[in-house]
Amino acid sequence: MIDVEDLVSLIHNYNPRCNEGLIRGAYDYGRRMHDGQMRQSGEPYFTHPVAVAAILTEMRLDDATIVTALLHDTIEDTAATHEEITKQFNEEVARLVDGVTKLTRISFVSDQAKQAENFRKLFFAMSKDLRVILVKLADRLHNMRTIRSMKPDKQAQKARETMEIFAPLAGRMGMQWMREELEDLAFRVLNPEARNSILRRFITLQRETGDAVSKITGDIRAELDRAGIEADVYGRAKKPYSVWRKMQEKDLAFSRLSDIYGFRIITADVADCYRALGVIHQRWKAVPGRFKDYISQPKSNGYRSIHTTVSGRDGKRVEVQIRTRQMHEVAEAGVAAHWSYRDGVRSVNPFAVDPARWIAQLTERFDEGDHDEFMEHVRLEMYQDQVFCFTPKGDVVQLPRGATPLDFAYAIHTRIGNACVSAKIDGIRVPLWTRVRNGQSVEIITAEGQRPQASWIDIVATGRAKAAIRRSLREEDRGRFVKLGRELARVTFERYAKKATDKALRTAARTLGLPDETELLARIGSAEIPANRVVELLYPALPALEAQIVPAARPVVGLADDQSFMRAPCCQPVPGERIVGITHRGKGVVAHAMDCPALADFQDAPDRWVDLRWQTGQHAPVHTVTIEVTIANAAGVLGRVCSVVGEMRTNISDLHFVDKKPDYYRIAIDVDLRDAEHLHTVLTALDAETDVAGVARKRDRNRKP
């Protein structure tokens, strides 16, 4: 365990003016409160708070945050109280410790509604003082570093929570180093076979090619020296999880993966960043589509850097990041750079963002909408990459990847979004469902009297736009929806031999977190809440009624009488997924998933697009989907995989081997499914198998209808 003198010394390295008395007092108090408590590893419990404090010293944080780390478990696990900590130390420390304690009590392992409420609590605590989440992230990092002492089921739970919640949150805050370490530690628990396989391949690659990192680093330094640019150059192999994720996303074997090395060039000023970029591109061939300038268009968390990928030594692709020293400090610390110290004073970094402004952007409109809307907004705003577009006047608008001109319009103002009739991208009129890309200029065309359409919900990608459209639709058509909802409720309740009384509807509304029965009826009428769900919520013991069988030959709504229908083989959409139709001469209407990349080929032919949706009811298991499964090369494994698929009441219509390696096989299985829920069940069941290293839905843009 780090003793108090070593801890004070770590703080002195960046803050010689620190309050030593406060630090020593917190150390002694925390050790005394945790006296006799042990970790599952057998170590004294106080080793954990000290390790958390040491992690925060690496981020050069202030005294109050370090003291909070030393005391963060005292209120939760000892006899200490908020009042006593206030008296012993100060109100700021007590408030921070209390905030971390409340975060610790939040459990993210729950149903959708409870999870949404827990996210609200998380962001509410962050909005009060962002330092509480910094302590919590450091706490989670140390727990993940020492996770081997936990029981296997607890390890898996903590690892999933880390991968789904805390690692993306660290990344959103700009602390990429922490995100990568958290992901890799969770990956070690969740998929140790895949991680070890990647590490073995790294060792083999190094044996075959030598130390590629040092060679390429030397090449870059030589080119910069020749150009007279003073800069530090660092290189490393990417983390196993980063490599694994890229293999999954790009559907590539390790041997075909290119940019597994990353390099950073740290310069003295911005001018040298662009000079260094020129040197790199003159010496090595740039890879098209892999250039991003976050210096001229910084991320909302303050991150600034130039990213480019080039074909380096021996044709290997390498990613190069170029930034100044101050930019690098923010890139390492993220939002936490606001509190960092240097030589005893608060470090003034022009690129550090104001935490209050950052958290306000993140939590904007989180108080609006229902649980589903809130969770949708959280995932979109926290976990997705961003694109940067321009208004005609040159102002920058940040949107999540996959956003459309409608998202752009709502990002400017709700009034503009509601009145949008069309859009131009780089001066060319495009459909509203077009996906915007980095650097494009978007012009929104509005008209008086225009109102949001129900189909817009399936077009937009941002939580803000979805919430605004739903709110406008509810307000405009509220009377009609209430009347329709009352009739739907009456008919549905009667099918179950029940009556849709005002009291029953009020009870259901209260259970769903809605203000009154009128709001519930409006949402039933607008198809946001199925009437069946209301009945099942009030009377869970009632037997479910037999669902209407959807004809397999015509499972969609929106076709003309003379139009035939087929599913696109490239994306293989299934009932429950959003779809859009494209007309083909001689082939009728081909249904694509809304996120299918092949739709980009038809952006210039809006007359061929058909608004489709799946029919409501029970679909037959005739919708073929290809899933790719990576399994251990061992006796009986393939048979067990096929048995699992069969147990899910799924027919295997085809199976073939994609790749055969000494330690694993990759197979493609065509399965016949009912809907998206059926697909999810099959994927989950396969993923739970011990000998299955990976399972994913396979989509191939090159498959033509």
Q: Residue 669 forms beta bridges with which residues?
A: 627, 655
Q: How far apart are CA 429 and CA 150, in angstroms?
A: 58
Q: How many CB atoms lie within 10 A of CB 604?
A: 11
**DSSP letter at 351?**
T
Task: From 524, 507, 525, select the one nearest 516 (Cα to Cα).
Answer: 507
Task: From 622, 671, 626, select the one nearest 644 (Cα to Cα).
Answer: 671
Instruction: Answer for the pair 595, 528: CB distance below 8 angstroms, yes or no.
Output: no
Indicate which residue of 3, 28, 35, 76 is catalytic. Answer: 76
Contacts for 267-271 with beta carbons within 8 Å, 24 or more apart?
A: 267/229, 267/230, 267/231, 267/322, 267/323, 267/324, 267/325, 268/230, 268/231, 268/324, 268/325, 269/324, 270/295, 270/324
The separation between the first and the last C-alpha atoms of the chain, rounded to the nearest angstrom, is 64
In degrees and rounded to multiples of 5, residue 432 shows phi and psi of -65, -20
DSSP labels, 449-473: T----GGGGGT--SHHHHHHHHHHH
Q: Residue 317 forms beta bridges with which residues?
A: 311
Q: Classify residue 236 by burial, with Cβ atoms within 10 Å: 0-12, 13-18, 19+.
A: exposed
Task: From 650, 643, 705, select the one nearest 675 (Cα to Cα).
Answer: 650
Instruction: Answer for the pair 154, 121: CB distance below 8 angstroms, yes or no.
Output: no
Indicate which residue of 58, 77, 332, 368 is catalytic. Answer: 77
Q: How many CB atoms lie within 10 A of CB 634?
A: 12
Q: How far apart are CA 219 and CA 313, in angstroms?
A: 8
Contacts for 678-682 with beta carbons within 8 Å, 24 or more apart?
A: 678/574, 678/621, 678/648, 678/650, 679/574, 679/625, 681/648, 682/627, 682/645, 682/648, 682/650
Q: How many CB atoms lie within 10 A of CB 165?
A: 21
Helix (H, G, I), strand (E, B) or coil at 80: coil
Question: Which ranges constitute the DSSP H helices of 293-431?
Answer: 325-333, 355-363, 371-383, 405-412, 414-418
Instruction: Answer for the pair 36, 79: CB distance below 8 angstroms, yes or no.
Output: no
Tokens of 682: 């099959």
Q: How far apart are CA 55 and CA 69, in angstroms?
A: 9
Q: How far apart are CA 581 and CA 560, in angstroms?
A: 12
Instruction: Answer for the pair 509, 520: CB distance below 8 angstroms, yes or no.
Output: yes
Q: How far apart are CA 230 and CA 221, in angstroms?
A: 9
Active site residue 562: no
Would you say how long the chain is, in residues? 705
Question: Which ranges constitute the DSSP H helices of 89-239?
Answer: 91-104, 112-128, 131-145, 152-161, 167-172, 176-190, 192-209, 212-226
Query: Roughly what angle, to the nearest 10 degrees, separates helices 212-226 and 192-209?
Result: 60
Instruction: Answer for the pair 521, 485: CB distance below 8 angstroms, yes or no.
Output: yes
Q: How far apart are CA 305 and CA 129, in angstroms?
A: 27
Active site residue 76: yes
Active-site annotation, residues: 76-77
